[in-house]
């Protein structure tokens, strides 16, 4: 058990920290004494982005299989990597059309191939100093640097940029689960020791984190090993302290950074209905956790959980992707959708159309609110009211909590005065009816009603561990046929 110290600020509220690598910051509820985890400004800013992309483009783009996962002896020949029409500006067109605000590039996946010309040198098992010769510099497009081009394009278009780098697997170096496999080496693999591998990881992260500006997000797929942790944490604080880090926490609460982001536990893009901004486990989180750690929902546009481009791989329907949006962003989870350039280096036309379709739906549904000019009011006891000037049709409500002092709402109920057009156009006294309810709101919760209703007033009631502050509550009427998956045509 970790020792915990608290500095009381006033009454029962205080800032507390436990003795771990990165100490969680929280305060004590003045109502029930529970812990209220406090966010960093970087975490809140990241949640505001809501949608990002995870760009899978490297040697695996040219394979029939989806990368080098679970085939530890496979080292694809770097001559395969030959994107003849590579244009990272064109990637940004799809990112913007989707409405994404950040992009994270897979700079090194499990094959070990780096899409930048890494200058790292190391000693092999025979104590010979050798270069890391499994990079874009050994491919037909030597002289190119995908990482650099991507960063320049992202900065040009105002998109936050970041990098994915797998620390635990590298087929080129015969590493699985952060350990060198000593039993055999396959053609193309280089023999090294575990300590050398950790040094290579450190040196390549130093290249990525030290040469390409301030990163929005850093991705650790599969986490990191205990032997890598201390140096990686130090490097992170020295070079990219502002970046949010995916998979930065272990389930025991040991974290590399206070700007941690957790995995939701599935690659379908669906968060649990009850999804909190706090907790470090790969699920819906924990409202009582001292760690503020928002969830990110990563998923693919291609079917069958395919991340790298696959020839003739079907795409998920626009109807399914609309559901993904509502079950991720609409459930307090960042949506990170795979962006998949093909073997030419461009986004295929059908993929670009699907990204735009999803972005168009989101904009048409949520860019403006029916309740924008209505009378809004809130109380000191967590209630929120919207009074409309006339009977108005709606089919959903968007709730946003101000989490700057922690996520404090624990449940809510939405009531509406529903007008029956058959009864004197609603001129009589109309009672409130329960139209939706739930637990976690956090950054954003979207409740879609079973059918459109005509209302004159909407009222939200809450339970909480401290007086809530609302960021925004809005009402919308969207294309129900599109939302239900029955009217948007396929390409």
pLDDT in tens, 409-447: 999 999 999 997 555 444 456 799 999 999 999 999 999
Q: Among positive and negative, which fits the CA dihedral 244, 246, 213, 101? A: negative
- Coil/strand/helix, residue 200: helix
Q: End of a domain among 366, 400, 418?
A: 366
**379 and 361 both lie in a single domain:** no
Tell whether 224 and 314 lie within a shared domain. Answer: yes
Is the same domain home to 13 and 153? no
Reference 214, options 238, 233, 240; nearest CA is: 240
Q: How many domains, in total, are found in the chain?
A: 3
Whether 158 and 286 map to the same domain: the answer is yes
> What CATH number should be reported for the domain holding residue 231?
3.20.20.80
Same domain membership, residue 300 and residue 193: yes
Of 366, 391, 419, the residue that ends a domain is 366
Q: Which domain holds residue 387?
A: 375-483
Q: Torsion angle, CA of 250/252/256/258, rounded to 10 degrees?
A: 110
Would you say 375 and 433 are in contact if contact means Cβ atoms under 8 Å apart?
A: no
Show which of 335, 366, 397 is a domain's final residue.
Answer: 366
Q: Rounded to whole angstroms, how far apart are CA atoms 278 and 150?
A: 32
Q: Do 22 and 120 have their domain in common?
A: no
> In CATH, what number is assigned to the domain containing residue 438?
2.60.120.260
pLDDT, position 286 = 98
Q: Which helix (H) or strand (E) holds 180?
A: strand 179-180
Beta pairing class for 102-108 and 51-55: parallel
Residue 489 belongs to some domain of the structure: no
pLDDT at 175: 97
Are residues 452 and 392 in contact, defined by beta-carbon separation less than 8 angstroms?
no
pLDDT tens-digit profile of 21-71?
Answer: 689 999 999 999 999 999 999 999 999 999 999 999 999 999 999 999 999
Can you spell out the DSSP letters for 4-69? EEEEEEETTEEEEEESSSS---EEE-TTT--EEE---HHHHHHHHH-EEEEE--SGGGGSSSSSST
Q: Residue 361 and residue 77: Cα distance in Å, rounded? A: 41
- Clarify whether residues 104 and 190 are in a common domain: yes
- Assigned domain for 397 exists: yes
Same domain, 334 and 380: no
> Could you tell me if residue 188 is inside a domain?
yes
User: Is 490 a member of any domain?
Assistant: no
Residue 320's φ and ψ, nearest 5 degrees, are: -65, -40
388 and 269 share one domain? no
170 and 194 in a single domain? The answer is: yes
Same domain flag for 216 and 111: yes
pLDDT at 251 (0 to 100): 86
What confidence score (pLDDT) does residue 483 get? 45
The answer to whether residue 156 is domain-embedded is yes
Tell me whether residue 488 is in a domain.
no
What pLDDT was estimated at residue 421? Answer: 55
- Is 128 contained in some domain? yes
Based on its alpha-carbon atoms, the radius of gyration of the chain, rounded to whole angstroms, reads 25
Exposed, middle or buried, 41 (CB in 10 Å: 0-12/13-18/19+)?
exposed
Q: Which residues of the chain have pLDDT under 70?
A: 1-21, 421-429, 480-491
CA torsion 266-363-274-393 (nearest 10°) is -140
Q: Are residues 138 and 215 in the same domain?
A: yes
For residue 180, being part of any structural domain is answered with yes
- Output phi, psi for 277, to 5 deg: -80, 5
């Amino acid at each position: 058990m970790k020792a915990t110290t608290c500095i009381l600020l006033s009454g029962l509220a205080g800032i507390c920290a436990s003795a771990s690598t990165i100490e969680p910051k929280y305060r004590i509820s003045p109502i029930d004494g529970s812990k209220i985890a406090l966010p960093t400004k970087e975490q809140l800013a990241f949640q505001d982005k809501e949608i990002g992309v995870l760009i899978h483009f490297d040697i695996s783009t040219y394979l029939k299989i989806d990368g080098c996962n679970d085939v530890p002896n496979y080292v694809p020949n770097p001559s395969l990597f030959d994107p003849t029409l590579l244009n990272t500006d064109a990637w940004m067109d799809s990112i913007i059309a989707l409405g994404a605000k950040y992009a994270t590039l897979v700079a090194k996946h499990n094959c070990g191939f780096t899409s930048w010309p890494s200058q790292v040198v190391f000693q092999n098992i025979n104590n010979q100093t050798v270069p890391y010769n499994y990079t874009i510099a050994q491919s037909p497009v030597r002289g190119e640097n995908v990482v650099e081009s991507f960063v320049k394009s992202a900065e040009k278009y105002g998109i936050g940029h970041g990098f994915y780098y797998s620390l635990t697997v590298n087929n080129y170096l015969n590493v699985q689960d952060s350990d060198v496999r000593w039993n055999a080496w396959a053609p193309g693999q280089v023999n090294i020791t575990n300590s050398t591998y950790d040094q290579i990881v450190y040196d390549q992260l130093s290249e990525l984190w030290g040469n390409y500006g301030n990163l929005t997000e850093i991705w650790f797929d599969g986490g990191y090993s205990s032997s890598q942790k201390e140096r990686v944490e130090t490097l992170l604080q020295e070079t990219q302290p502002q970046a949010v880090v995916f998979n930065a926490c272990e389930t025991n609460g040991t974290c590399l950074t206070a700007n941690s982001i957790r995995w939701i536990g599935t690659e379908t893009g669906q968060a649990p209905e009850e999804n909190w901004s706090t907790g470090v486990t790969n699920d819906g989180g924990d409202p009582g956790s001292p760690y503020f750690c928002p969830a990110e929902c990563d998923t693919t546009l291609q079917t069958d959980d395919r991340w790298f481009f696959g020839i003739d791989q079907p795409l998920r329907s626009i109807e399914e992707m609309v559901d993904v949006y509502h079950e991720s962003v609409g459930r307090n989870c960042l949506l990170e959708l795979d962006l998949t350039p093909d073997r030419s280096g461009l986004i295929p036309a059908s993929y670009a159309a699907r990204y735009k379709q999803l972005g168009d739906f989101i904009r048409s549904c949520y860019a403006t609110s029916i309740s924008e000019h209505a009378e809004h009011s809130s109380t000191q006891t967590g209630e929120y009211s919207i009074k409309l000037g006339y009977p108005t049709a709606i089919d959903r409500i968007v709730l946003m909590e101000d989490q700057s002092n922690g996520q404090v709402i624990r449940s809510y109920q939405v009531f509406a005065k529903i007008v029956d057009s058959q009864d004197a156009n609603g001129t009589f006294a109309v009672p409130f009816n329960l139209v939706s309810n739930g637990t976690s709101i956090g950054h954003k919760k979207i409740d879609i009603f079973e059918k459109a209703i005509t209302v004159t007033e909407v009222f939200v009631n809450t339970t909480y561990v401290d007086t809530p502050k609302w960021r925004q509550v809005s009402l919308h009427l969207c294309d129900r046929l599109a939302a239900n998956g029955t009217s948007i045509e396929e390409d």
